[in-house]
Every structure is written in structure tokens, then in C-alpha cells.
Amino acid sequence: MTTRSMGGITKKKTILDLSAIKVSEPSTLKQTFKDPNWTKAMEMEIAALHRNHTWDLVEQPPDVNVIGCKWANKLKHKPDGSIERYKARLVAKGYNQTHGLDYFETFSPVVKAATIRIILTVALSFKWEIRQLDVHNAFLNGELEEQVYMSQPPGYFDTQFPNRVCRLKKALSGLKQAPRAWFQRLNSTLLQWGFNMSRTDSSMFLHFGQATTLIVLVYVDDIIITGSSSTQISFLIAKLDSVFAL
């Protein structure tokens, strides 16, 4: 076996010097609200949640499990170490969920590593275009079948109904069933569009036209699309964007 180092194939390791960057990720909610950049990121997240009708504010029913939620803030850096964007995500405290009450099945299939290698080899052999997609707020596209109740987001309590709770309609990051709900939604959409699920890998979807072939590989919210027609690939991406807001 010939390794990359034996063949002289090397790449200089890039070490980011972040010492000059004074911005850090906040550790408390109070620190977060002091920075307008983090506040803007949180407001964008809240707006996306409301736009997707993620929950309804309701009176807390008796004998239900109400889980909490928290803000997860992350700085995204460019290759040179500079700040690309401030990312704020509302995360449900799924570790407080109760099996059989507010969640049941949690398993979500992901594409196998061997499948990725084979498909990339085929694509390179036929010189097919390869596109990689990262679905923003992917879990918000998942429809919940269970009754899940969550406390209102910290810092964004409804002033008219501060004691109400959120009855979730869409999956939220942190929920135990969130990856499965998202995959089911994506799976049903692709099947409606004429794709077939592979028998050997349930996270690979195939579409054979009269003169074109399209292949979709799914790993949670990361999607790889390749095929014999660049036009059909672009058309598929546009359709996905119209449904899931990539």
C-alpha cells in the first residue's frame, strides 16, 4: 500500500491564529444580549422559527412533560481566521424527554461511507458534476407526530402570555426524534418527485430518466447530488430550495 506521504502528496497544515480576534462566544445570556451581533443572530433564529410555525403558545396541560431550551451560539470562521458570521441556534433540552410520552423512535439512517466512495468514483469516472448542500434549519422541516411541550425561549418570553408553553409542531434541534422527522420529510418529498430509495443504502436516492441519471446521498442535513445532467442537478436544487429553504 502506498500512502500519501510515501507518494510525496502533502499539504501544509494551516494553523489559525485567533489570538488577535477579541470576539468570543458568550457563556451567559446576559453576555449575549450585550453584543448586537449576537442579538441580531438570535432574532434571525426566532424569526425563522415563527416563519416555519414551529410552535403554538398554549396553556400548560396537566401531567405533561415540559422540556426546557437554551441558546447555542457559535462563531463561524473563514479559512484565514476572520469571522464569517455569528450563528445562534435555539436547542431543545431533549435529554429531559421521556420515552413513550414525548418521543418514540429516534433512529435516522445516514449514508454509508462505502456508498459515498463508490458514488464519487462513478461521478469522477463519467465526469459528472458534484454538488454539496447544507440545509439551513433542516430540523424545522420535520413534522412531529408526538405531543412535545417546551418552555418559551430564554429572553423571548411572550409579554402577554409569559406563563404559557410552546406546543411544538415542527422538530427542533436537540429533540431526540428531530433527525428522524427531518429524514422522513425529505424521504417522502424525493419519492413524490420520482426518486427511488436504494435497496442497499436507504440514504441513497436514485432517479433514472430517459437520458439522465440523478443520485442523492443524505447524511443528516448534508446532501450530495450528482448525475449525468448539470441542468437537471440545478433544477433539483432549485426545487429543494423552494421546499426546504437551503
The residues spanned by each domain of the chain are 29-244
Identify the DSSP state of 140.
Answer: G
Dig out the grid coordinates for 142 from the structure. 420535520
Note whether 166 and 90 are within 8 A (CB).
no
Q: How many residues does the chain have?
A: 246
The burial of 163, by beta-carbon neighbours within 10 Å (0-12 exposed, 13-18 middle, 19 or more buried), is given as exposed
DSSP strand pairing (66-67 vs 143-150):
parallel
Dig out the grid coordinates for 132 from the structure. 454539496
Instruction: Determine the pLDDT at residue 19.
Output: 47
Which residue, among 75, 73, 97, has the nearest Cα to 21 in the 3D structure? 75
Spacing of C-alpha 78 from chain mean position = 20
Instruction: Determine the pLDDT at residue 220.
Output: 87
Per-residue pLDDT of the chain (246 residues), as tens digits, is 556 666 666 666 655 554 444 667 888 888 999 999 999 999 999 998 998 899 999 999 998 999 999 999 999 888 888 888 898 999 999 999 999 889 988 888 899 999 999 999 999 999 999 999 888 778 888 889 899 999 999 999 999 999 999 999 999 999 999 999 999 999 999 999 999 999 999 999 999 988 899 999 999 889 999 999 999 999 999 999 888 875
Name the residue with cell 422559527.
Answer: 49
Enter the pTM of the model: 0.77
Note whether 142 and 170 are within 8 A (CB).
yes
How far apart, in whole angstroms, are the C-alpha atoms of residue 226 and residue 35? 41
3-state secondary structure of 51: helix
